[in-house]
Amino acid sequence: MSYSYDILLCDLDAFFASVEQRDNPKLKGKPIIIGGDPDYRGVVSTCSYEARQYGIRAALPTKKALQLCPKALLLPARMPRYKKVSLQVMDILERFTPDIERVSIDEAYLAVKRGTGLETARRIRFAVKKELNLPLSIGVSVNKLLSKIACSLAKPDNIKALWPHAVEKSLWPLSIGVLPGVGPVTEKKLNKFGIKTVADLAFFPGDALKNIVGNYAADLKEYSWGYDNRKLELKHKQKSISEEITFPRDIYDQEIIMDILFDLAAELGYRLRSKGLRARTIALKLKFPDLTIKTKTTSFPEAIDDDEKIYDTATTLFNHCCSKPPWRLIGISTSGLQKWEQLALFSAESQKKDKIKPVLDLLRQKYGKNAIFKGRRLLLLLKKDALMISSKQNK
Ligand SMILES: [Mg+2]
């Protein structure tokens, strides 16, 4: 069988617990549980590796978990925080390939060029460590089944490949519970017929297997030999990235509009760069108190990701709109998105800027949006506060 892609499964280790331990270093090295209230039949959603040593697992009642490890620290889940960090991780993954299936908040399959899987896995893990300081395990193979199993063998915080030639040595000795669709009930049922390991399954007569698990027998047989035809369910490629602001009161002052455009452009530039994208088209959107909308669009021969260029373009579009105050909403959107690796070489000037941008972006990633900005944003932050302006982004 020939394969066109290497398939990676990236899975963050004890994700919620790892975020808590990263955000609060005092929790490092301690058994912590993210879960519901033990008095209200809460269950464990995630626990740190330190807590796992006490036999605590996801879905265990919190009450039971605290009996197993009375000194464990129980924390409530902070879903908005985890979602945000998850997006940051997915943004990093998108730099390496557009072919991604996001399985859950902390797990995604990636398809990359055949033969580049292990190297890509190393680069991804390096980036997630350096930029987000989170533990990540990656399984590398040629299909979903094997990369998922490789990932479970890699855990915690490591990379493992499981290639088809190693099925006999590495997959067959494992318990059948590692196969997709084999939950505790099916496992028990198969155990009764002496099928305990994947090897047992591989050599069990097909007809007899069908009598036990019905139509699922054919899939199980395939899996036991390391075959898996399931395709990645790719999300649609992101077509545009936009930022807009609706004002709580209509705005009459053009200077404020310019300041806001400056802020929106910085936000867009950052989001493009963090995804490894550049845009060929910029559009400006204006909404008026009577709810009519005006948009103006322009395109460049060369794609951009630079805050200043986005800002200059947006202000030019604004001036061409001949629009009169008051304004109710203003937004910028970027489309015609391209991966920057695919682009031609840049001019000398943009190369010079490119040395500073990654540093600024990294600082921002680490310390947040308001940690570092060009002088002009300070004024805007004060004005925004006074105007109680809130913004919205597409995602
Ligand atoms: Mg995980």
Give me the DSSP letters along 32-97: EEEE--GGGT-BEEEE-HHHHTTT--TTSBHHHHHHH-TTPEEE---HHHHHHHHHHHHHHHHHH-
Instruction: Tell how far the Cα of 155 is from the centroid of ligand 1, in angstroms.
Output: 9
pLDDT band at 345 (very low <50, low <70, confident <90, very high): very low
CB 331 within 8 A of CB 245: yes
The DSSP secondary structure of 134-148, one letter per residue, reads: --EEEEEESSHHHHH
Separation of alpha carbons 267 and 394, rounded Å: 12
Separation of alpha carbons 310 and 287, rounded Å: 20
Separation of alpha carbons 323 and 287, rounded Å: 10
Asked if the model's pLDDT at residue 275 lies above 60, the reply is yes
Separation of alpha carbons 28 and 16, rounded Å: 13
Chain mean pLDDT for the chain:
88
Instruction: Tell how far the Cα of 136 is from the centroid of ligand 1, in angstroms.
Output: 8
pLDDT of residue 277: 87
Instruction: Tell how far the Cα of 18 is from the centroid of ligand 1, in angstroms.
Output: 10
Phi, psi of 249 (to 5 degrees): -130, 150
pLDDT of residue 347: 39
- Token readout for 182 is 């084999």
Catalytic residue from among 107, 243, 244, 267: 107
- The pLDDT tens digits of the residues spanning 214-236 come to 999 999 999 999 999 999 988 76
Q: 102 by DSSP, 3-state: which?
A: strand
Asked if the model's pLDDT at residue 237 lies above 70, the reply is no
pLDDT band at 98 (very low <50, low <70, confident <90, very high): confident
* Residues surrounding ion ligand 1 at CB below 5 Å: 11-12, 15, 106
pLDDT of residue 301: 86
Instruction: Tell how far the Cα of 22 is from the centroid of ligand 1, in angstroms.
Output: 15
- 107 annotated active-site: yes
Query: What's the pTM?
Result: 0.66
pLDDT band at 366 (very low <50, low <70, confident <90, very high): low
Q: Which of 25-39, 139-153, 351-365, 367-381 has the lowest mean pLDDT?
A: 367-381
Instruction: Tell how far the Cα of 137 is from the centroid of ligand 1, in angstroms.
Output: 8
User: What's the helix, strand, coil split of the chain in %, to 5?
Assistant: 45, 25, 30
Instruction: Tell how far the Cα of 107 is from the centroid of ligand 1, in angstroms.
Output: 6
Asked if the model's pLDDT at residue 62 lies above 60, the reply is yes
pLDDT of residue 389: 57
311 versus 273: the higher-pLDDT residue is 311
